[in-house]
């Protein structure tokens, strides 16, 4: 068996493993996006903007939909909780020019990757730290004007602790914007619940979030259900990989099968299990 075939087989095994472990998922997605697009990209759902959107356009659209809730960030210190590979933090820095951005993630491999990308780009006014969203060690009280959390909170087992930490690190009058998958009032099969535990998925109902925000001293002043444009973002995927050639017909077939399986899974959840909301809240001044 040739070395190329062996490498392809190993890469395919990695794609399969990504469906059953959160750590594997993010590592594989980072590697996959770098292989297809030439560099790491944001790793979250797409938001429909136009029929010609690439996957990267859709992801940027979702980030922009969240950033609409912030006032001018030009003189602000921003914390992104659950920053992953840091690409979204760098997008905010480039397009909204906050005074400083700190990206925080539980996975030290993500933090190391984010630091390398920022260094390669020669970026300043940005740093990345490894810490737990439910216990933000090393971050002083009132250190940030703004906190952003996109598609990460549903992984946190202790959401009240997370929201209390957001309140602690925000300055009085600071704003918190969170985009998250929320549980619909229905039942899932035992098989789905087992799979969710493997992927560290801990969904909450919308009312549970609203209560926990208030208990943490965060006043929700806006809430938007973006399930429909996210679903459409997944359905309008014909342009996702246009002009991006993947080496080897077998490798391309495996990647496209993996992509279709991921799209099917996310569409099924958004239609039957979850909705997708943005919350915007302010810490009392």
With respect to residue 117, please indicate whether it lies within any of the assigned structural domains.
yes
The reply to whether 172 and 235 lie within a common domain is: no
pLDDT given for residue 230 in this prediction: 98
Q: Coil, helix or strand for 177?
A: strand
pLDDT reported for residue 4: 41
* Burial class (CB within 10 angstroms; exposed 0-12, middle 13-18, buried 19+) of 83: buried
Are 48 and 135 contained in the same domain?
Answer: no
- Same domain? 43 vs 64: no
Closest Cα partner for 96 from 144, 143, 64? 64
**164: domain CATH number?**
3.40.50.150
Domain presence at residue 113: yes
Q: Does 145 reside within a domain?
A: yes
Per DSSP, helices labelled H in 42-148 are 55-67, 87-96, 108-120
State pLDDT tens for residues 172-185. Answer: 999 999 999 999 88
Let me know whether 168 and 206 are in one domain. Answer: yes
244 within some domain = yes
Domain that holds residue 253: 3-52+229-270
Domain identity same for 107 and 215: yes
Neighbouring residues of 156: CB distance < 8 A, sequence distance ≥ 6? 133, 134, 162, 202
71 and 47 share one domain: no
118 in the same domain as 24: no
Q: Is residue 105 part of a domain?
A: yes
Q: Count the Cβ atoms, other than its own, within 10 Å of residue 139.
A: 18
Residues of the chain scoring pLDDT < 50: 1-13, 20, 22
Do 69 and 42 sit in the same domain of this protein?
Answer: no
CA distances, 270 to each of 66, 120, 140, 224, 275 (Å): 19, 37, 37, 15, 6
The pLDDT value recorded for residue 7 is 43
CA distance linking residue 73 with residue 99, whole number of Å: 8
pLDDT at 170: 98
Do 204 and 246 reside in the same domain of the chain? no
On whether both 123 and 91 belong to a single domain, the answer is yes
The pLDDT value recorded for residue 215 is 98
Structural domain total, the chain: 2
SS3 string, 207-232, reads HHHHHHHHHCCEEEEEEEECHHHHHH
Give 96-139 pLDDT, tens digit per residue. Answer: 999 999 999 999 999 999 999 999 999 999 999 999 999 999 89
Residue 60 near residue 42 (C-beta atoms within 8 A): yes
Please report the pLDDT score of residue 36 as a whole number: 84
Same domain, 65 and 101: yes
What pLDDT, in 10s, does the model give residues 83-99?
999 999 999 999 999 99
Does 195 fall in a domain? no
15 and 148 share one domain: no
């Amino acid at each position: 068996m040739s070395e190329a075939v062996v490498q392809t087989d190993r890469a395919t095994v990695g794609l399969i493993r990504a469906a059953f472990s959160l750590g594997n998922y993010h590592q594989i997605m980072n590697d996959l996006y770098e292989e297809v697009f030439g560099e790491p990209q944001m790793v979250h759902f797409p938001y429909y903007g136009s029929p010609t959107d690439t996957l990267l356009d859709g992801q940027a659209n979702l980030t922009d939909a969240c950033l609409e809730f912030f006032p001018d960030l030009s003189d602000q210190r921003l914390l992104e909780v659950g920053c992953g590979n840091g690409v979204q933090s760098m997008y905010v820095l480039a397009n909204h020019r906050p005074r400083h951005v700190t990206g925080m993630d539980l996975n030290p491999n993500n933090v190391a990757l984010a630091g390398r990308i920022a260094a390669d780009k020669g970026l300043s006014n940005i740093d990345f730290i490894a810490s737990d969203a439910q216990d933000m060690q090393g971050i002083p009280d009132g250190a940030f004007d703004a906190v952003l959390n996109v598609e990460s909170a549903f992984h946190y087992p202790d959401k009240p602790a997370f929201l209390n930490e957001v309140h602690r690190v925000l300055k009085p009058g600071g704003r918190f914007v969170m985009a998250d998958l929320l549980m619909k009032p229905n039942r899932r099969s035992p098989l789905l619940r087992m799979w969710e535990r493997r992927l560290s998925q801990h969904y909450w109902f919308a009312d549970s979030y609203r209560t926990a925000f208030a208990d943490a001293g965060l006043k929700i002043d806006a809430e938007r259900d973006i399930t429909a444009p996210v679903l459409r973002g997944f359905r309008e995927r014909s342009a996702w990989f246009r002009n991006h050639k993947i080496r080897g017909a077998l490798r391309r077939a495996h990647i496209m099968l993996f992509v279709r399986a991921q799209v099917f899974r996310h569409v099924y959840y958004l239609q039957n299990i979850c909705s997708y909301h943005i919350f915007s809240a302010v810490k009392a001044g």
